[in-house]
């Protein structure tokens, strides 16, 4: 072996550095002594170029996917991908070229709301209702200030923030555990008006004081559920903290509190509210019915069985059917029980309860059935005019296109209830004859199924397609405006905007007073001053004006894809990703 090789064999060999020499300063060479940062750097420098490039690409792809997911959730939530859109796209709304007139009309409705609030603030602030002719007030709901609470979210939606803050300043000091001495609070009415009004005012403003007040209302009304079956008593003595015992409850009272208590559970994190309300749905779902999906209006609280009453989509039954669909929507379309119940009811309604005018082929209506579901009443209530809006919403949500066609036909009828009267206001109900000239006498009949031979139709009935009954009053009701707003937002047909504007103009002309708006005694009378009843229900502010304002607002403002409106028009933000309960 030569001398050079021998020298090399005995010379020490330097170990391979764990990191480049220039980066050794201050870092331990032994991996076990390195910090996490040091270990990562060591691992990185040990990689060759290909491994480093591959790692960089993986990190970039994963990071990009995370950012994309966040942006999707913000601007186009993933939940929407699986569900058909309900509201027309903004481009359809824009292409109608109604923005200028919409703004003018929207401002006119806003002025009506400001006028009404001003009168309420001046003459009835803090009381339940304004008497808009005598400029007085009443406390018919126990003195909680129901008009104020019912109006809060309408004020917010219309950007009347000063008025909204006036209401909030008052309501946060109201003690909802007290009511007028001797008064018993109607459970259903205060859930849909007061509880719901406070919940939506909180969701819009995020003022935690409003959520606290909503929870107080929810709590003081909870004794209603203190029954052997869980079906609620209709009234609660909030002063004593107990329910008022009763043997029966009507369908709408029992079955139109679920959205509100579900929302309260979601916002407070306390499931007891939703559980109590859901129990009612389960009982009614399993109760024996005279016809599949059709529910008589009176329920025995002790047994959970239907005891008496007609089957109707009008008074005392209406909102029960509405809430089946709306609970399904609120659940994020995950709770199949609600979908099944809704579809059963609508299929049976279409089979048994929908008829057509003998004088107008376009005019369809929904009548009532007796307890046995065998006798039919050709009476179409103003309250039932929520049905076309419900059908349209269900048609898109559940892919039922035939329901949308029926919705259009029923909306036409509801509009003609206004269009064919002397004042342009809609009566409490209209009546229809069948092809054999049988129907209900227009005078005060014994009951809604007392069908008799009718005299020959006069020219007025033939031209209208219907005839009027003895109750011709207009109570400032919202149902037709509600359906018109929904039909526009689903179809994009500007005809509905014209119909809504015509109705609003009639309201302005015939019912406006210096302090507000008054219910009207007879829609066929043009003797205006004698027809004003000095009554203005809180739903005029909560519903009628709100729906008209939204009709003339961009279709994606409080979109039907993002909000579900309770039966008092309080918009609940849809909670995504609900698990089935």
Residues with a known catalytic role: 189, 318, 428, 479
Gap between the Cα atoms of 518 and 536, Å rounded: 5
- Binding-site sequence positions: 567
559's tokens: 């979109």
Phi, psi (5° rounding) for residue 355? -130, 175
Q: How far apart are CA 316 and CA 252, in angstroms?
A: 5
Cα distances from 477 to residues 412, 413, 544, in angstroms, run 17, 16, 7
Residue 7 tokens read as 């020298």
Cα 401 to Cα 220: distance, rounded to the nearest angstrom: 43
- Residues 541 and 519: their CA atoms lie apart, in Å, by 13
CA 145 to chain centre: 22
Q: What are the residues whose beta carbons fall under 8 Å from the beta carbon of 207, sequence distance 6 or more? A: 168, 201
CA 137 to chain centre: 28
Q: b/e per residue, 523-548, with b = 16+ CB within 10 A?
A: beeeeeeebbbebbbbbbbbbbbbbb
Cβ contact 547:478 at 8 Å: yes
CA distances to 125, 179, 505 from 136, in Å: 10, 20, 26
* Strand extents, DSSP E, 309-451: 354-356, 364-366, 368-369, 376-377, 379-381, 429-431, 438-439
Cα pseudo-dihedral 280, 285, 291, 295, rounded to 10: 20
Annotated binding site for Ca(2+): 567
């Amino acid at each position: 072996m030569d001398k050079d090789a021998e020298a090399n064999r005995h010379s020490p060999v330097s170990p391979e550095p764990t990191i480049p020499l220039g980066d050794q300063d201050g870092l331990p060479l032994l991996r076990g002594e390195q910090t996490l940062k040091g270990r990562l750097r060591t691992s990185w420098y040990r990689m060759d170029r290909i491994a480093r490039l591959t790692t960089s690409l993986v990190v970039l792809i994963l990071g990009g996917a995370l950012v994309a997911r966040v942006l999707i959730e913000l601007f186009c939530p993933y939940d929407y991908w699986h569900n058909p859109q309900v509201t027309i796209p903004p481009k359809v709304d824009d292409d109608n070229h109604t923005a200028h007139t919409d703004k003018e009309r929207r401002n006119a409705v806003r002025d009506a709301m400001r006028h009404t609030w001003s009168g309420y603030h001046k003459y009835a602030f803090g009381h339940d209702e304004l008497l808009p002719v005598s400029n007085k007030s009443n406390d018919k709901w126990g003195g909680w200030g129901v008009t104020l609470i019912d109006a809060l979210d309408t004020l917010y939606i219309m950007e009347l923030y000063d008025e909204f803050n006036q209401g909030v300043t008052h309501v946060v000091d109201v003690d909802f555990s007290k009511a007028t001495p001797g008064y018993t609070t109607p459970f259903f009415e205060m859930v849909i008006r007061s509880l719901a009004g406070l919940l939506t005012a909180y969701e819009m403003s995020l003022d935690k004081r409003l959520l606290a007040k909503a929870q107080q209302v929810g709590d003081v009304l909870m004794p209603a559920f203190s029954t052997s079956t869980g079906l609620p008593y209709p009234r609660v003595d909030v002063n004593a903290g107990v329910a008022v015992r009763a043997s029966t409850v009507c369908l709408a009272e029992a079955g139109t509190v679920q959205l509100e208590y579900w929302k309260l559970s979601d916002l407070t994190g306390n499931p007891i509210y939703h559980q109590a309300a859901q129990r009612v749905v389960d009982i009614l779902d399993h109760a024996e019915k005279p016809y599949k999906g059709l529910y008589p209006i009176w329920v025995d609280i002790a047994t959970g069985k239907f005891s008496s009453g007609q089957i109707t989509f009008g008074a005392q039954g209406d909102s029960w059917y509405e809430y089946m669909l709306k609970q399904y929507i609120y659940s994020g379309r995950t709770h199949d029980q609600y979908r099944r119940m809704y579809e059963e009811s609508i299929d049976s309604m279409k089979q048994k309860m929908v008829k057509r005018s003998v004088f107008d082929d376009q005019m369809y209506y929904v009548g009532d059935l007796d307890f046995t579901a065998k006798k039919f009443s050709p009476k179409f209530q103003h309250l039932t005019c929520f049905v076309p809006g419900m059908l349209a919403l269900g048609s898109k949500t559940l892919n039922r296109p035939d329901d949308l066609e029926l919705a259009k036909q029923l909306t036409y009828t509801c509009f003609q209830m206004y269009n064919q009267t002397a004042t342009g206001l809609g009566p409490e109900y209209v009546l229809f004859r069948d092809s054999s000239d049988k129907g209900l006498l227009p005078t005060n009949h014994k009951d809604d199924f007392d069908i008799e031979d009718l005299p020959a139709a006069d020219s007025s009935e033939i031209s209208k397609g219907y005839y009027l009954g003895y109750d011709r009053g207009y109570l400032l009701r919202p149902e037709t405006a509600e359906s018109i707003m929904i039909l526009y937002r689903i179809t994009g047909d500007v005809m509905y905007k014209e119909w809504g504007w015509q109705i609003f103009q009639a309201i302005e002309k015939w019912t406006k007073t210096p302090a507000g708006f008054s219910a009207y005694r007879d829609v066929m009378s043009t003797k205006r001053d004698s027809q004003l009843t000095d009554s203005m229900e809180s739903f005029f502010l909560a519903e009628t004006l709100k729906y008209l304002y939204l009709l003339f607002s961009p279709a994606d403002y409080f979109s039907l894809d993002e909000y579900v409106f309770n039966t008092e028009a309080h918009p609940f933000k849809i909670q995504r990703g609900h698990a089935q309960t």
